[in-house]
């Protein structure tokens, strides 16, 4: 275990966070929110201090790292990012003077970084600086901080692919171009360009610039933090369509955009995952349109509401234009199932990822066929390429672990939750946080506000669930298992 | 070390390497270290995964002759395609198709003796290969140079043999122990230059007041005849190895035996496989071919190991080569050379007391790095020859100087060189000059430069 190298990269990440915190500081200064600005300044100070201490500890590091160091680096970086990113919330508090507890602040930051969008705060009571930081964490967490670090600094060694693989979602992570730094740069450039386009389109639709920026951050990271408790419901149909389309766009594998950029669009459109993704959107929206048609005024409205909600749940964003809780059971059920699927691999979306679902489905078919014809040999194909058994068993193991963690989370929540929280609410809260969606299904009241009613242990549990979901379980599990750290076994 | 290639602002090359065996890996490693965009192609997914885990490159799994695979690897925009799979025919086809798809330069490994005769020129021309490389032949040449000069552990030649750099190992009780370089130069009248010294893991480009010590590995530049004289004066001169035993009937052994027997030396090849033995005895009428397991010490002694001038192990197994070479040193064979392709094994063999280890893979990587650096700046004074010395810690490069007011027609002592850089030799009109501070470089000269810790692509890079 190369501890010094882990310290070095983690230290760089924390220093980068200090730099990123300067942006909300500037917003707070521009909005003349002096106390909030001081809160950000304090956070930057803490981040600089921690980063420098880590860098000092890393002096003389030898640069050889393996998969294990990659996982641990990613896990520790994300935990530290959340812990430090929570400081401004806790120091500044709400605009009406009510303080924000550190646990609430941590929940909010982890929710932001993991692109969940579940909130325990009321957006109307937050200063502009904090609102900006909250949405900005979505944007940072969407593509990943370590990928950002790789885009900025030259690679320390040829082996940084281990770090990238640990942070990027999806069963198979490859590079777009030979050098990892160029790959990271391309990913971020596409990400920035698409975010900028959305900001322009939203602002053109009459949304105030500040709101456009924040909502674009929320869409880009497939997060879901907004400016109002009512999310997107009060905006014009044009804006709702723009956000719906961009949610879908950010749920597509970014490699495909690169393919289109280098004029290999035909290959990009051959991606089976992409067609599967579009088919799900069409079918799910179709059923919901038919299902909710009697409750709305026009067909157009039904289409808009259902497409928006389907995109929001499938890409694990979590914006809302209507209270889906009030919809018929069939629609609610479909939305609930969409929460598990998530977007495409290599996108900013959370959840299981469609490529995993497709691979699982094919392995199931193969098992059945092999039961019928025990001697048949049958390769599993994905995106036109045969998959080796290692990837297959990796996907199956991931699915098993995913189910297990959901069960444990739900049972733990049931044990801890206050009165009035029934199984459906607890289960959907666990599903929502673990899959990085945000809103959960509840019988009473506003779905966005339900997390605030949980106590401190439940909030911490859900915070962990959000990070587990974003990093796809393994990094955190590995980083916090004692055998990783024991010198005897390493 | 970062990425000196890109910091200097030269082009990064897009390079495809087809075939990631031992040779392929070492090429990928050197080119990735030079800072190029490398795409590795291999049919085995496990190999591709392994190589992309270790180096910052992209991997494509597929057949290097397949159009789709080559397109996916980016052949259309590639500056160079290097095909080094185990099969000559695959390499040729891969280069041919790669060239058709748009790769600007193609290099194929062609090692079969049947292709390496007159037909090579035909193949190269018809397939439009920029270069055909034959690691076995290159290794055989390197071995032959060492056998001609057995006291050296490595011999590198420049300007078609006008200059040589030989590496010598100073024994603990050497006459040069504790001698300053300036004193050495006064004592021995020959024209030579001690250009590199390796002590432990450190490599120096020494100045006049540098003091040599026993155990140092030194590199000398001089003309071949001066080297012979100097070695005689130092009392180290060994006669050329006249009676050589080769262990293993590999292609390298074939080429080496051919060179040796043309020079009139006695060669004995020991090989396990009867079929290979039959082929070798057919192709090499002058050599003695012995069928038997060379790992048996009894057999080696019976075949006259103790009376041989030199023993060279050339089997396909690095481990066997090293162990049998160590056995030969215990039998007091004067010169023992082992072939070891794996770098880590070569380093370990050095610690076990084998001074001369030849690595075909290192040689071929040198040739490619030289080729790519020459591609990078075809405008300036580009690299003609490149060798890695002292286990890769120093480089010797040959440039053809072009008119440049910063370098040419200026006495060397007035040039502001980077640290750890030395002008080790100048060849002008076929005359070899060991330069002193007063010498100047003229346009058109071949200039040999030694550098430790720099990557030079152009003669102008030697300046601060």
Fold of B243-333: Rossmann fold (3.40.50)
> Among A50, A119, A53, A58, which Cα is nearest to A89's?
A119
Q: Which of A158, A175, A176, A389 to mutate to test the interface with B (most CBs of B within 10 A)?
A: A158
Q: Which of B2, B14, B53 sits opposite A161 (nearest CB)?
A: B53
* Torsional class of B17: left (φ above 0), alpha (ψ -120 to 50), beta (otherwise): beta
Residue B5 has pLDDT above 60, yes or no: no
pLDDT value at residue B3: 37
**What does the alpha-carbon distance between residue B236 and residue B368 come to, in Å, rounded to a whole number?**
34
B139-234 sits in which CATH class? alpha beta
- Partner-chain contact B3 A154, CB within 8 Å: yes
Q: What is the mean pLDDT of residues B53-58?
A: 87
> Among B69, B56, B402, B262, which Cα is nearest to A183's?
B56
- Partner-chain contact B37 A179, CB within 8 Å: yes
Q: What is the mean pLDDT of residues B158-167?
A: 83
* Residue B297 pLDDT level (bands cut at 50, 70, 90): confident
pLDDT value at residue B344: 79
pTM for this entry: 0.82
More confident: B10 or A196: A196
- Residue A179 touches chain B, beta carbons under 8 Å: yes
CB-based contacts of A123, cutoff 8 Å, min separation 6: A131, A225, A226, A227, A228, A229
Q: What is the mean pLDDT of residues B400-428?
A: 85
Tens of pLDDT, residues B174-224:
788 888 888 888 888 788 888 888 887 788 888 778 888 888 888 888 888
Q: Which residue of A has its CA nearest to B54?
A: A159
Tens of pLDDT, residues B63-114:
999 999 999 899 999 999 999 999 999 999 999 999 999 999 999 999 888 8
**What does the alpha-carbon distance between residue A217 and residue B206 come to, in Å, rounded to a whole number?**
59
Q: Residue A71 phi/psi, 5° resolution? A: -60, -50
- Residue A162 touches chain B, beta carbons under 8 Å: yes
- Partner-chain contact B57 A158, CB within 8 Å: yes
**Alpha-carbon torsion, ordered B124, B130, B134, B140, to 10 deg:** 110
pLDDT value at residue B91: 94
pLDDT value at residue A145: 84
- pLDDT more than 70, % of chain A: 96
B381-462 sits in which CATH class? alpha beta
- Partner-chain contact B56 A180, CB within 8 Å: yes
**What does the alpha-carbon distance between residue B197 and residue B90 come to, in Å, rounded to a whole number?**
42
CB B394 within 8 A of CB B206: no
**What does the alpha-carbon distance between residue B390 and residue B451 come to, in Å, rounded to a whole number?**
11
Q: Residue B33 phi/psi, 5° resolution? A: -65, -30
Chain A, 379 to 398: residues with Cβ < 8 Å from chain B are 388
More confident: A268 or A195: A195
Mean of per-residue pLDDT scores for chain B: 85
- Partner-chain contact B56 A160, CB within 8 Å: yes
H/E/C letters for each residue in A206-256? CCCHHHHHHHHHHHHCCCCCCCCCCCCCCCCHHHHHHHHHHHHHHCCCHHH
Q: What is the mean pLDDT of residues A371-378?
A: 86
Tens of pLDDT, residues B267-289:
999 999 999 999 999 988 889 99
Q: Which of B3, B39, B52 sits opposite A161 (nearest CB)?
A: B52
pLDDT value at residue A168: 74
CB-based contacts of B281, cutoff 8 Å, min separation 6: B287, B289
- Highest mean pLDDT out of A443-447, B327-331, B404-408: B327-331
Q: Which of B2, B53, B58 sits opposite A177 (nearest CB)?
A: B58
- Partner-chain contact A158 B32, CB within 8 Å: yes
Q: Tokens 């459109």 — which residue? A: A269
Chain A, 77 to 136: residues with Cβ < 8 Å from chain B are none
Instruction: Please give the interface size between A and B, counted as residue pairs whose CB atoms are below 8 Å apart.
Output: 37
* Residue B6 pLDDT level (bands cut at 50, 70, 90): very low
Q: What is the mean pLDDT of residues A361-381?
A: 87
**What does the alpha-carbon distance between residue A380 and residue A172 come to, in Å, rounded to a whole number?**
15
Residue A424 has pLDDT above 80, yes or no: yes
CB B158 within 8 A of CB B165: yes
From chain A, pick out residues whose CB is under 8 angstroms from the CB of B55: 158
Q: Which residue of A has its CA nearest to B4?
A: A154
* Residue B158 pLDDT level (bands cut at 50, 70, 90): confident
Q: Which of B4, B15, B56, B79 to mutate to test the interface with A (most CBs of A within 10 A)?
A: B56
More confident: B207 or A312: A312
**What does the alpha-carbon distance between residue A118 and residue B349 come to, in Å, rounded to a whole number?**
61
Q: Which of B2, B39, B55 sits opposite A158 (nearest CB)?
A: B55
Mean of per-residue pLDDT scores for chain A: 89
CB A214 within 8 A of CB A131: yes
pLDDT value at residue B35: 84
Q: Residue B381 phi/psi, 5° resolution? A: -85, 95
**What does the alpha-carbon distance between residue B130 and residue A107 come to, in Å, rounded to a whole number?**
61
> Among B44, B4, B2, B3, which Cα is nearest to B24's?
B44
Q: What is the mean pLDDT of residues A368-394?
A: 85
Radius of gyration (C-alpha) of chain A in whole angstroms: 22
* Residue B379 pLDDT level (bands cut at 50, 70, 90): low
From chain B, pick out residues whose CB is under 8 angstroms from the CB of A174: 58
Q: Which residue of A has its CA nearest to B77?
A: A262
* Residue B2 pLDDT level (bands cut at 50, 70, 90): very low
CB B364 within 8 A of CB B26: yes
Both structure tokens of B249: 């009937």
> Among B229, B234, B225, B228, which Cα is nearest to B432's?
B225
* Residue B153 pLDDT level (bands cut at 50, 70, 90): confident
- pLDDT more than 90, % of chain B: 22
- Residue A161 touches chain B, beta carbons under 8 Å: yes
**What does the alpha-carbon distance between residue B231 and residue A234 come to, in Å, rounded to a whole number?**
92
pLDDT value at residue B7: 37
The whole-angstrom distance between B72's CA and the closest CA on chain A is 10
> What are the b/e assignments for B351-390, b being 16+ CB within 10 Å?
eeebbbbbbbbbbbbbbbbbbbbbbbbeebbbbbbbbbbb
Q: What is the mean pLDDT of residues A262-282?
A: 89
Tens of pLDDT, residues A331-350:
989 999 999 998 898 888 88
pLDDT value at residue B165: 87
Residue A411 has pLDDT above 90, yes or no: yes
Sign for the pseudo-dihedral over CA of A307, A264, B59, B86: positive
Q: Tokens 């481990």 — which residue? A: B319
Q: Residue B110 phi/psi, 5° resolution? A: -125, 110
The whole-angstrom distance between B245's CA and the closest CA on chain A is 42
**What does the alpha-carbon distance between residue A206 and residue A236 come to, in Å, rounded to a whole number?**
9
> What are the b/e assignments for A284-312, b being 16+ CB within 10 Å?
bbebbbebbeeebeeeebbbbbbbbbbbb
- Please list the residues that pair with B386 across neighbouring strands: B397
What is the secondary structure of A435-466 as a DSSP string? TT------SSS-GGGGGGGS-HHHHHHHHHHH
Q: What is the mean pLDDT of residues A319-323?
A: 84
More confident: B428 or B116: B428
The whole-angstrom distance between A177's CA and the closest CA on chain B is 6
Least confident of A70-74, B12-16, B318-322, B429-433: B429-433
> Among B146, B63, B116, B109, which Cα is nearest to B355's?
B146
B139-234 and B381-462 share one CATH topology?
A: yes
Q: Which of A155, A158, A178 sits opposite B39 (nearest CB)?
A: A178
Neighbour-count burial of A489, counting CB atoms closer than 10 A to its CB (0-12 exposed, 13-18 middle, 19+ buried): exposed
Q: Residue B246 phi/psi, 5° resolution? A: -110, 130
| 3-state SS class at B6 | helix
Q: Which residues of B touch A (CB under 8 A)?
A: 2-3, 14, 32, 37-39, 45, 52-58
Q: Which residue of B has its CA nearest to A154?
A: B2
* Residue A21 pLDDT level (bands cut at 50, 70, 90): very high
Neighbours of B141 (CB within 10 A): 18
- Residue A159 touches chain B, beta carbons under 8 Å: yes
> Among A96, A89, A176, A186, which Cα is nearest to A131's?
A89
CB A171 within 8 A of CB A398: yes
pLDDT value at residue A402: 94
Residue B381 has pLDDT above 60, yes or no: no
Tens of pLDDT, residues A121-158:
888 889 999 999 999 999 999 988 888 888 877 766 66
- Partner-chain contact B58 A161, CB within 8 Å: no
The whole-angstrom distance between B14's CA and the closest CA on chain A is 9
- Partner-chain contact B56 A388, CB within 8 Å: no
From chain A, pick out residues whose CB is under 8 angstroms from the CB of B14: 178
CB A177 within 8 A of CB B76: no
Rounded to 5°, the CA angle B418-B420-B426 comes to 85
Q: Which residue of B has its CA nearest to A172?
A: B49
Residue B10 has pLDDT above 80, yes or no: no
Q: Which of B58, B68, B71 to mutate to test the interface with A (most CBs of A within 10 A)?
A: B58
pLDDT value at residue A445: 52
pLDDT value at residue A106: 95
Residue B351 has pLDDT above 50, yes or no: yes
Q: Which of A154, A157, A178 sits opposite B57 (nearest CB)?
A: A178
Residue A430 has pLDDT above 60, yes or no: yes
B4-133 sits in which CATH class? alpha beta
Q: Where are the domains of chain B?
A: 4-133, 139-234, 243-333, 381-462
């Amino acid at each position: 275990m190369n501890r010094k190298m882990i310290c070095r990269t983690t230290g760089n990440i924390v220093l980068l966070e200090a730099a990123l915190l300067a942006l909300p500081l500037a917003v707070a200064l521009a909005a003349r929110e002096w106390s909030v600005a001081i809160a950000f300044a304090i956070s930057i100070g803490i981040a600089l201090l921690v980063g420098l201490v880590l860098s000092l500890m890393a002096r003389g590091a030898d640069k050889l790292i393996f998969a294990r160091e990659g996982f641990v680096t990613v896990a520790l970086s994300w935990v530290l990012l959340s812990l430090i990113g929570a400081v401004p919330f806790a120091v500044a508090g709400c605009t009406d003077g009510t303080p924000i507890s550190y646990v609430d602040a941590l929940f909010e930051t982890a929710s932001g970084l993991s692109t969940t969008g579940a909130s325990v705060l009321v957006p109307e009571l937050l200063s502009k600086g904090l609102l900006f930081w909250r949405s900005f964490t979505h944007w940072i967490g969407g593509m990943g901080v370590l990928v950002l670090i790789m885009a900025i600094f030259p690679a320390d060694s040829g082996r940084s692919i281990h770090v990238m693989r640990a942070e990027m979602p999806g069963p198979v992570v490859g590079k777009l171009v030979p050098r990892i730094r160029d790959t990271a740069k391309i990913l971020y450039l596409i990400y920035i360009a698409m975010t900028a386009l959305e900001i322009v389109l939203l602002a053109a639709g009459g949304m105030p610039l500040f709101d456009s920026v924040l909502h674009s951050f929320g869409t880009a990271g497939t997060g879901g933090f907004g400016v109002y408790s009512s999310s997107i419901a009060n905006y014009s149909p044009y804006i709702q369509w723009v956000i719906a389309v961009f949610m879908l766009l950010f749920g597509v594998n970014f490699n495909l955009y690169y393919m289109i950029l280098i004029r290999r669009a035909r290959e990009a459109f051959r991606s089976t995952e992409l067609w599967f993704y579009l088919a799900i959107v069409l079918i799910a929206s179709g059923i919901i349109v038919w299902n909710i048609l009697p409750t709305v005024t026009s067909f157009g409205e039904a289409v808009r509401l259902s497409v928006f909600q389907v995109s929001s749940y499938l890409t694990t964003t979590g914006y809302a234009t209507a209270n889906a809780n009030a919809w018929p059971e069939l629609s609610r059920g479909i939305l609930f199932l969409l929460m598990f699927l998530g977007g495409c691999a290599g996108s900013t979306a959370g959840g299981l990822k469609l490529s995993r679902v497709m691979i699982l489905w094919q392995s199931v078919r193969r098992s059945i066929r092999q039961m019928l014809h025990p001697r048949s040999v049958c390769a599993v194909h994905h995106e036109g390429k045969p998959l080796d058994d290692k990837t297959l068993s990796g996907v199956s193991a991931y699915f098993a672990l995913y189910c297990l963690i959901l069960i444990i989370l739900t049972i733990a929540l049931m044990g801890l939750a206050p009165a009035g929280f029934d199984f459906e609410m607890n289960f959907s809260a666990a599903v929502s946080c673990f899959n990085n969606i945000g809103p959960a299904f509840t019988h009473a009241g506003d779905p966005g506000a339900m997390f605030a009613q949980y106590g401190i242990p439940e909030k911490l549990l859900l915070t962990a669930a959000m990070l587990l979901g974003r990093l796809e379980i393994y990094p955190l599990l590995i980083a916090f298992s004692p055998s990783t750290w024991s010198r005897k076994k390493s | 070390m970062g990425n000196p290639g890109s910091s200097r602002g030269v082009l990064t090359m897009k390079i495809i390497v087809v075939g990631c065996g031992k040779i392929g890996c070492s090429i990928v490693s050197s080119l990735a270290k030079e800072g190029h965009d490398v795409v590795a192609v291999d049919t085995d997914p496990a190999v591709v995964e392994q190589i992309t885990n270790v180096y910052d490159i992209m991997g494509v799994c597929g057949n290097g002759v397949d159009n789709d695979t080559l397109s996916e690897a980016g052949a259309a925009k590639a500056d160079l395609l290097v095909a080094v799979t185990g099969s000559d025919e695959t390499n040729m086809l891969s280069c041919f198709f790669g060239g058709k798809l748009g790769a600007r330069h193609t290099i194929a490994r062609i090692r079969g003796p049947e292709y390496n005769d007159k037909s090579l020129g035909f193949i190269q021309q018809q397939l439009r290969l920029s270069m055909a490389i034959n690691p076995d032949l290159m290794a055989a040449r390197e071995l032959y140079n060492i056998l001609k000069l057995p006291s050296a552990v490595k011999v590198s030649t420049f300007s078609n043999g006008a200059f040589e750099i030989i590496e010598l190992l100073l024994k603990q009780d050497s006459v040069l122990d504790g001698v300053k370089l300036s004193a050495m130069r006064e004592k021995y009248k020959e024209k030579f230059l001690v250009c590199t010294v390796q002590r432990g893991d450190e490599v120096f480009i020494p100045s006049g007041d540098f003091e040599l010590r026993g155990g140092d590995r030194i590199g000398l530049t001089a003309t071949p005849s001066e080297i012979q004289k100097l070695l005689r004066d130092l009392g180290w001169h060994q006669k050329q190895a006249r009676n050589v035993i080769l262990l293993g009937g590999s292609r390298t052994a074939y080429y080496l035996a051919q060179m040796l027997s043309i020079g009139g030396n006695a060669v004995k090849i020991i090989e396990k496989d009867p079929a290979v033995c039959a082929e070798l005895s057919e192709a090499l009428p002058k050599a003695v071919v012995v069928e038997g397991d060379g790992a048996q010490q009894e057999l080696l002694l019976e075949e006259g190991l103790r009376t041989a001038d030199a023993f060279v192990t050339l089997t396909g197994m690095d481990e066997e080569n090293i162990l049998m070479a160590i056995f030969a040193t215990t039998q007091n064979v004067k010169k023992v050379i082992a072939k070891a392709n794996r770098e880590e094994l070569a380093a370990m063999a050095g610690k076990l007391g084998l001074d001369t280890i030849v690595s075909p893979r290192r040689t071929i990587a040198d040739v490619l790095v030289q080729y790519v650096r020459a591609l990078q700046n075809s405008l300036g004074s580009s690299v003609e020859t490149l060798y890695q010395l002292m286990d890769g810690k120093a480089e010797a490069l040959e440039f053809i100087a072009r008119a440049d007011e910063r370098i040419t027609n200026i006495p060397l002592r007035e040039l502001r060189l980077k640290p750890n850089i030395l002008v080790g030799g100048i060849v002008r009109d076929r005359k070899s000059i060991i330069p002193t501070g007063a010498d100047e470089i003229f346009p058109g000269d071949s200039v040999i430069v030694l550098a430790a810790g720099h990557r030079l692509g152009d003669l102008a890079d030697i300046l601060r």
